[in-house]
Amino acid sequence: MGNLKIFLQKFIYAFVFCAILPVFLVFWTSKTESLIQLPVPDFPILSIGLSIVGFVLIIGAMLNLWFKGKGLPMNGFPPKNYVSSGLYGLFHHPIYVGAVFVSFGVSMYFQSASCFWLISPIFILLILAYVNGFENEIISKSFNHQTHRTFFDFPENNQNKLSLKNRLLLYVWIFLPWILIYQSFIFLGTPNDAISTKIVLDNFIPFYDFSVIPYILAYPIIGLIPFLIQTNQVCRKFIFDTITGMCIIFYCYLVFPFIVEYHSIDNVNHFTNLIITGRTLDGETAALPSFHVFWALIFLKYFSIRFPNFKFLGWIISILIILSCLTTFNHTILDVLFGVLAFYMVDKRIKIYQKVLAFCERISNSWKEWRIGKIRIINHGIYAALGGIAGFLIMGICLPDNLYIIYLIGISGFIGAGLWAQFVEGSPALLRPYGYYGSIIGVFITIVFIAIFSDFSFFYLLGIASLAASPIQFFGRFRCLVQGCCHGKPTTNTLGICFNHPKSRVNKIAGWAGKNLFPTQFYSIASNFLTFFILIRLVSLGLPVTFITGIYLILNGSFRFVEESLRGEPQTPYFSGMRVYQWLALISIVVGIIFTCFESEPFHLVAMNWNLVLNSLFYGFIILFAYGIDFPESNKRFSRLTQ
């Protein structure tokens, strides 16, 4: 009977990943094809080649696991032996790499904009979330933390001389992804919501056609950086510098549609011909921050490390490249300044991150309370109130003439959160806890009833609630820091935060006062910050409310899945090997995908007014009462936030 049960579980597992998932992705593509009106690169040979390589990786890796691992590619049912050779000697996850190749290859071959620009990138995000939020942990436990190095792994963190192989692999690790992603933004052309970065001061910048020489020479100079690097440690520093820089700058390109408006060139000569030719290969998009500036400063940093006695020469080259961005009119002052800022953030990222965590730690140990008779006011309610105000304002500019609807949605959210947490986390120490997924259920039910008994669109109401959710959670996580909820588990491998206040849940429930914990509240703050601006960009592009709702649920579910793997609240229940909230995050992703398939209207935004502001402040007071005011001497349900 036991063997039959395991066989059925394996069959269902295989059927889901090998049959249902591909069919579901095809269905998703077909339903969103009319929505994604973007050009697709037309390279038939490349698309066929990518698809073939992808299938070879998938099938070859499965055969490696079958013959060498004595098992199947199922992390829920791992093979008997750890496999580190064959295709697993090239990649840690060759099946996933192959699946991504197939996704992009097939989408290019069939010229599917939806699959290329929407499904494939989200597919990568979901793979990363699944691997980092579940699979790595399962594999590590199953094989006693056994690891191996692959051909494409970054070099080890030591002072050994950088090998020729790793020097050349820098072009695969760094420059190839940069070219592909950068050219993707150029390929898409100028968006409908484009914003020029030109300011008044740009009118005082002179045009020097000969300055195109350092501008063009920047490309070979930057391409030689791998040959400036001498040790593995410096190589790793370069890798993480550039990856961080790409993440920052490409995110800016995605959410802020800034462009540089090219000036026409009347005087035709050899220099101006070079400028014109360069512009045909480049474009007005992908302007702010300037990658030219960022790469010039990266060159300066690693040239100075390699030749400290000739640092002045690196400065001269970098300054000439940066100035040429302005004097060729290929970039504006703002493009250049933000390019410098991007480099500064990358170069000082460890110190910046340490300061951010120190700030979070101060907040986490800042509990204050005031007594007025039997009433207690706790300072963490202020953060919840700020989230409520921000959420009310966002929903209000989408529904300005019916603010009572926003009150209903908002109040149902915290009532649902309270009821949910009673079933999941309720205890003598937690008479009034709140749960995020309960708020979603409460809001959803309320919106259903409003849509049934009124003329309001169900999709539109759900859309404005989704748009407001990220800022609400952004501020709400600061409350979590003070209260000590949603905390991480102990770690010795990464920077974290310590909770020392005796009132914190970390101390009272988990018993981890003073221990270094994963800063999961900060991870959530960061993910909601990033999600919000992506949603705002989608609103700017005039996409349907259902699509934006779906993207919110997908992004939130993906980030939450990984975050939950790092959380350590002892009262969190498990189900079938995963935390309950990870299952809910997966459901959120699936529901989000389904929502992107529906047709609906776009958002209708209006200007903010004083009536909206005053109502948001009043709503903020309601939230303050719900999340920051309680009756500590009472044992009645919902009376006490904490002991």
Among 296-310, 507-521, 530-544, 572-586, name the one with the lowest average pLDDT. 572-586
Domain ranges of the chain: 2-142, 164-347, 357-630
CB atoms within 10 A of CB 408: 17
Among 114-123, 211-220, 359-368, 489-498, name the one with the lowest average pLDDT. 489-498
pLDDT tops 70 at residue 283: yes
Give residue 335's pLDDT.
97
Q: Tokens at residue 332, please?
A: 């504006």
pLDDT tops 60 at residue 427: no
| Tally of residues, the chain | 643
Among 7-21, 57-71, 278-292, 395-409, name the one with the lowest average pLDDT. 7-21
First to last CA, the chain: 49
Quick one: which of 589, 581, 596 has its CA closest to 437?
581
Q: How confident is the model at residue 432 (pLDDT cuts 50, 70, 90)?
A: low
Give residue 641's pLDDT.
66
Question: Mean pLDDT, to the nearest integer, of 445-462?
Answer: 92
Q: How confident is the model at residue 468 (pLDDT cuts 50, 70, 90)?
A: very high
pLDDT tops 60 at residue 429: no
What's the 3-state SS for 349-381?
HHHHHHHHHHHHHHHHCCCCEEEECCEEEECCH
Among 49-58, 492-501, 553-562, name the one with the lowest average pLDDT. 492-501
What is the residue-averaged pLDDT of the chain? 90
Pairing of strands 258-259, 195-196: parallel
Residue 81 near residue 64 (C-beta atoms within 8 A): no
| Burial class of residue 428 (count of CB atoms within 10 Å of its CB; 0-12, 13-18, 19+) | exposed
Question: Mean pLDDT, to the nearest integer, of 88-92?
Answer: 94
Question: Mean pLDDT, to the nearest integer, of 599-620?
Answer: 91
pLDDT tops 80 at residue 384: yes
Measure the CA–CA gap between 333 and 326, rounded to whole angstroms. 7
Give residue 1's pLDDT.
53
Q: How confident is the model at residue 415 (pLDDT cuts 50, 70, 90)?
A: confident
pLDDT tops 90 at residue 267: no
Share of the chain above pLDDT 90, in %: 69
Give residue 107's pLDDT.
96
Among 439-443, 537-541, 582-586, name the one with the lowest average pLDDT. 439-443
| Burial class of residue 302 (count of CB atoms within 10 Å of its CB; 0-12, 13-18, 19+) | buried
Which residues have a Cβ under 8 Å from the Cβ of 413 and sit 6 or more positions away? 439, 442, 443, 465
DSSP letter for 484, please.
T
The more confident residue out of 415 and 60 is 60
CB atoms within 10 A of CB 569: 20
Give residue 546's pLDDT.
96
Residue carrying the six token digits 């709702």: 549
Model confidence, pTM: 0.93
Q: How confident is the model at residue 311 (pLDDT cuts 50, 70, 90)?
A: very high
Give residue 577's pLDDT.
76
Could you tell me the sign of the dihedral formed by the alpha carbons of 267, 270, 271, 277, in that order? Answer: positive
Quick one: which of 536, 637, 486, 489 has its CA closest to 251?
536
Please give the backbone phi and psi of residue 377, each rounded to the nearest 5 degrees, phi first.
Answer: -110, 125
